[in-house]
Amino acid sequence: MNAIYDILGVPFGFVLKLIFEAVKNYGVALIIFTLFARLLMFPTSIHQQKGTAKTQRLQPKLRKIQEKYKGDNKRIQEETQALYQREGHNPMNAGCLPMLIQMPIIFGLIGVIYNPLTYALEIPKEYIDIMAAAIKETLPELAKNARTIQLTIIDHIGELKGLNIPVDFYNKIADFNFTFLGLPLGATPDKLHFDKLWAVPILSGITSFATSIFTFLKQKQTNPEMSKNPAMGCMTFGMPLFSTYFTFLFPVGIGIYWIASNVFAFAQTVILSFTHSPKKMVAKLMVEETIQRRSKEQNTKLVAARKEQ
């Protein structure tokens, strides 16, 4: 897993460094990076919206299957899958694609957040190794976790004077502000100890819930039957709980990314609800299906006419 963090950390570290050099604030750089990532994922959000519309468009056919084979769950499942196959639609892809795309970004950011000396400050590895060895010798308790050694160096740079390190690199680390709104970006919230770091999981849950409840209410307006589905309720309340729990597992920097991602996702959802509303998308799908059907009928007639000749 560490290798994945390191590999993905290289390209994301490069992008984040460029942003950091422009704004001179690591927390702000993370938020701008998140906006950049969200803009890249915007086409997948439109794809997801189209998938939702397609699922809604198939609801009458799904209800017919359920009524026809009522009580025979196995047959209902088989016919439902056959319908999706004929229509070229996979509802799971529509819902999971944005999350799957986010995972490499998160893994890459983890590598960057844990290694700011490498990716943000570009301190040569030989000097990082010297400081790491000094930390292991003088503060062995803090050096047990190799993954967080660069964060420990930043926190205790004042205790590492006298090492064979160029003054410019030492001052660069000493002047580096690895906090955002007073929160240390390298610290991880403790589930068992309430402190100011809990603000990150709490905000993560709230921002995720805002998107979930807005989506649920819109779904209730456009497709009341779908909103009654227990899975919909599970997603509405499950995702905020997951967001809260997730940000307890990683450093505050990852939590800042997650919160910003939730906020941008909410804004994106609101915008798409107007520009690509389910009603508009369903209407567009009906027109496209009508065109395809008529084109198919016309082709069939042409083939039949040629055979007669």
Q: What is the mean pLDDT of residues 283-303?
A: 65
Q: Which of 127-131, 210-214, 219-223, 274-278 has the lowest mean pLDDT?
A: 219-223
Which residue, 202, 294, 279, 305, is CA-closest to 248? 202
Q: Which of 100-104, 112-116, 243-247, 260-264 has the lowest mean pLDDT?
A: 100-104
Q: Is 90 exceeded by the pLDDT of residue 196?
A: yes
H helix or E strand, kind and range, residue 183: strand 183-184
Range with the largest mean pLDDT of 4-13, 71-80, 161-170 = 161-170
Q: Is 60 exceeded by the pLDDT of residue 228?
A: no
Span 83-101, pLDDT tens digits: 777 766 666 555 555 566 6
Contact status, residue 97 vs residue 46, Cβ threshold 8 Å: no
Q: Is 80 exceeded by the pLDDT of residue 307?
A: no
Taking the C-alpha atoms of residue 258 and residue 266, their distance in angstroms, rounded to an integer, is: 12
Residues pairing with 180 in the sheet: 183
Tokens standing for residue 280: 């508009």
Residues pairing with 179 in the sheet: 184
Span 149-180, pLDDT tens digits: 888 888 888 888 888 888 899 998 888 888 88
Span 266-288, pLDDT tens digits: 888 888 777 766 666 666 666 66
The band of 103, judged by pLDDT with boundaries at 50, 70 and 90, is confident
36-64 CB burial, b ≥16 within 10 A, e <16: ebbeebeebbeebbbbbbbbbbbeeebee
The band of 304, judged by pLDDT with boundaries at 50, 70 and 90, is low
244-273 CB burial, b ≥16 within 10 A, e <16: bebbbebbbbbbbbbbbbbbbbbebbeebb
| Matching residue, tokens 């694609």 | 97
Which residue, 178, 220, 308, 206, is CA-closest to 266? 206
The band of 211, judged by pLDDT with boundaries at 50, 70 and 90, is confident
